[in-house]
Amino acid sequence: MKGIILHGGHGTRLRPLTHTGPKQLLPIANKPMSQYCVETLVSAGIKEIAFIIGGIGSDKVKEYYGDGEKFGVKFTYIQQNFPKGIAHAISLCEDFVNNEKFVVFLGDNIIQRKINDYILDFKKSNAFASLLLCEVSNPSQFGIAEIENNKIIKITEKPKNPPTNLAVTGIYFLTPYIFEVIKKLKPSWRNELEIADALQILIEEQKKIIYGIITDFWKDTGTPNDIIEANKIILENMSESFQGKKEEDVILEGSVIVGEGTSIKNGVKILGPVIIGGNCIIEGNTVIGTNTSIGENSHISDCNISNSIIMSNCTIKGKLDIRNSIIASNSTIIKEQNKNNKKFLLGEGTQISL
């Protein structure tokens, strides 16, 4: 079985973070969110994975992932010139799939469980598709499955009045027959070929669709709040590790992960779960509170930060309280006078003096 990761789109809900690159490369717990998809597929024994790329900064995907050698698999890159929908992106993979069953991951989906059993069940079955469903609190934002007598009877994309709260996650197990179905599709009101419409055709043709319901953590990271929540959940499930250096007057509580070459100076307090990348300097009575990620090569001084994501190569200095924020790579924030708390959503290369 082969794997496909959809890595395109414009990420409009995450601007300005996505002005310089695809949203799927935004880090969660210091790792690009799409890498969680890669690792899930690799752990399930999949050896060939195609990335569907397009939009701003798509070359960064190739630069980061390469040919797949460091993951022990083979990567292929397929260009989608315009964002024409999930079904259209899947249609570009017909030659890559080569008449095999395959699994599709949306690159901004985070799942905290293995999919090995789902793959095995689908391989053994005569089903034309297998879907992973998850109960959500905002079903009007997702494709929703309606079930009757343990059978999916209807799938509706973002219904105004959802019949259930079972969202179709961005993980699809499919057979090559889906390519014939996609050829029948007409563009939706969004001018896209919708995967929900393709699945609905399978249902109407009485093709067998099986499903599983995820009770573990699953997240569609489409908004800044989604990313911060996913960061929190992943940090809570990581094991502590300290590879840096710390001075004597440093307080560490909870699960703390510190990368090689990082220096934690006197007066610093870190309250896990927290991850700090390599070659950072944390000093000057700084408090790094729970659910915070700090990327490599960053310099943090005299700050109080919690429930936030600070990406790599950032400098933050001064009496700053930062909460529920995402600060992109290469940003500089320096506060020279006492001011009120601030909330930041900063694009790459931002520089602020307060």
Residues 11-42 have pLDDT tens digits of 555 555 555 556 788 899 999 989 999 999 99
- What is the fold of 2-234? Spore Coat Polysaccharide Biosynthesis Protein SpsA; Chain A (3.90.550)
Output the pLDDT for position 22.
Answer: 66
Please name the residue that has the structure tokens 């703390």: 256
Please name the residue that has the structure tokens 């195609």: 50
Question: What are the sequence ranges of the domains in the chain?
Answer: 2-234, 238-353
Please check whether residue 80 is in contact with residue 8, taking contact to mean a CB–CB distance below 8 angstroms: yes
Output the pLDDT for position 312.
Answer: 94
> H helices within the chain, ranges in order?
33-43, 59-65, 86-91, 94-97, 116-124, 177-182, 195-204, 224-236
What is the C-alpha separation between 20 and 41, in angstroms, rounded?
27
pLDDT digits (tens, 9 = 90+) for 256-302: 999 999 999 999 999 999 999 999 999 989 999 999 999 999 999 99
Of residues 194 and 305, which shows the higher confidence score?
305
Q: What does the pLDDT average to over 57-83?
A: 89
What pTM does this model have? Answer: 0.87
Residue 354 has pLDDT above 80, yes or no: no
Output the pLDDT for position 72.
Answer: 93
Domains 2-234 and 238-353 share a fold: no
Of residues 62 and 274, which shows the higher confidence score?
274
pLDDT digits (tens, 9 = 90+) for 178-236: 999 999 998 888 888 889 899 999 999 999 999 988 876 777 666 788 889 889 989 99
Phi, psi values for residue 82, rounded to 5°: -135, 145
- What is the fold of 238-353? UDP N-Acetylglucosamine Acyltransferase; domain 1 (2.160.10)
pLDDT digits (tens, 9 = 90+) for 126-166: 999 999 998 888 888 888 899 988 889 988 888 888 888 89
Tokens read off for 181: 């179905």
Please name the residue that has the structure tokens 């590790």: 241
Output the pLDDT for position 161.
Answer: 87
Please check whether residue 201 is in contact with residue 184, taking contact to mean a CB–CB distance below 8 angstroms: yes
Residue 56 has pLDDT above 90, yes or no: no
Q: What share of the chain is helix, strand, coil (3-state, %, to 5)?
A: 20, 35, 45
Residue 46 has pLDDT above 90, yes or no: yes
